[in-house]
Amino acid sequence: VFEALFDADLRFVQSAAAASFDWQQVSQQHGTPLQAIVAGAIFDFDEPERRFAQRLELLSWCVGRGADPDQHATEKAVGRVSVDGAELILAGTSAQSLIRTVYCLCQQDLISDMDPQSMLVSRLKTMQKRMAAAERPTCHSVVDSVMSHMWEEMCREPDFADVAVLSQPVGPLGLRCLFRAHSVLLCHASPVFNVMLKPNHQAWRESDNHCITLDESPAAVEVFLSMLYSGCFPHADCDCDVLITVAEMADKYQVDKILPGLAAQIRRRISVDNFAMICAYAQKYSCLTLLSDCESFVREKARLGEIRPDIRWPNATNQTMDFIEETLNLYALAMKSRTL
């Protein structure tokens, strides 16, 4: 997908990345998804107008799917772009800052008007304006198709549902919330549900009564089912703790296709208040991209002087505190090396 982004292969990206691509992930070679598109334009600076128009359309489409023009590539990104002999690294930059840097190089007359690369100036401004004008999603969509809308309607109209899904007990009376679902979708989405609902399966009582009792809150069950049916959240926004619970449900019931989209949404919500929760989840499930974002968050807070190793993070486990301390130590060594 990153190669296709670099080459502005709109059709391939739309077919390959529509369902489960994580638009917040970073490629070691190409940086962020939008950096890959911009870097391709810089590398192939004299590409035909038709292909450049396709690149612009790809920019808008990716931003609409959740790609962030201001997302910075991590320090692990080793990719570079060359502008008239100057080597620009992608690590620590975003698509927007990459455009601004190259634009400044062009404006400083490092590239003459006679140089074919001079056409980069207008194209860079055009790409910058296109990303700024692109409509960003209010709710991250993992699936975008006509069928998803049909399933979304079926989720709200349980007339033909044949499975009862119960949440954890709530309230003083310990009552469970009831959700109606369709066995054909649950079995297709999850191999665990497929076994549980298989007819005449003596090891599972769910196969007889078609009633699945879950240990999660009603809010988490609602989001989980909505993601299974349509790939979208049922509401404009969801709390971070609910998203983490849904991600744990996806792991428990082996619904891998919704995990990248959930991880992207969790990473967008990292803050001081929920950092400990997010970091604990990333450590427990070895979510490398999320751990990388946690490291970046800690380094940024250390740079601003808002965190020290001798101060315990709110609600942090010992494992999370060890992670924070190790990250801070590595950050201190890096700063010392730069100073030297």
Q: What are the domain boundaries of the chain? A: 2-133, 141-250, 270-340
SS3 170: strand
Question: Across 91-246, where does the E strand assignment appear?
Answer: 163-166, 178-181, 211-213
**CATH number of this structure's domain 141-250, picked from the four choices 3.30.710.10, 3.40.50.1400, 3.40.50.720, 3.40.50.1980:** 3.30.710.10
The predicted model gives 225-246 an average pLDDT of 85
Q: pLDDT by residue (tens digit) across 212-228? A: 999 999 999 999 998 88
Q: What confidence score (pLDDT) does residue 117 get?
A: 61
The token pair at 274 is: 């929920």
Mean pLDDT of the residues in the chain: 82
pLDDT tens figures, 259-299: 877 887 888 788 888 888 999 999 898 887 788 888 888 88
Output DSSP code: residue 256: G
Residue 149's pLDDT is 57
Residue 40 token pair = 């391709």
| pLDDT top residue among 82 and 64 | 64
pLDDT of residue 141: 46
Give 73's strand partners: 91
pLDDT band (50, 70, 90) for residue 151: low
Residue in the block written with tokens 């054909």? 184
CATH of domain 2-133: 1.25.40
Instruction: Give percent of the chain above pLDDT 90.
Output: 26
Neighbours of 165 (CB within 10 A): 22
The encoded tokens of residue 9 equal: 């292969």
| 320 or 167, which is more confident | 167
Structure confidence at residue 136 (pLDDT): 77
Tokens matching residue 172: 């003083």
Residue 148 has pLDDT above 80, yes or no: no
Q: Is 60 exceeded by the pLDDT of residue 147? A: no
Which amino acid is it at 244?
I
Residue closest to 266 by CA, chosen among 236, 246, 251, 250: 246
Q: Residue 138 pLDDT more than 80? A: no
In the chain, pLDDT over 70 holds for what percent of residues?
Answer: 84
pLDDT tens readout for residues 92-116: 788 988 888 888 777 665 555 555 5
287: three-class secondary structure by DSSP? coil
* Of 237, 305, 297, 304, the residue nearest 272 (C-alpha): 297
Residue 146: its pLDDT value, please?
Answer: 45
Whether 109 contacts 102, CB under 8 Å: no
Q: What is the pLDDT of residue 163?
A: 92
Q: Supply the pLDDT for residue 142.
A: 42
Task: Report the distance separating Cα 54 and Cα 31, nearest Å.
Answer: 20
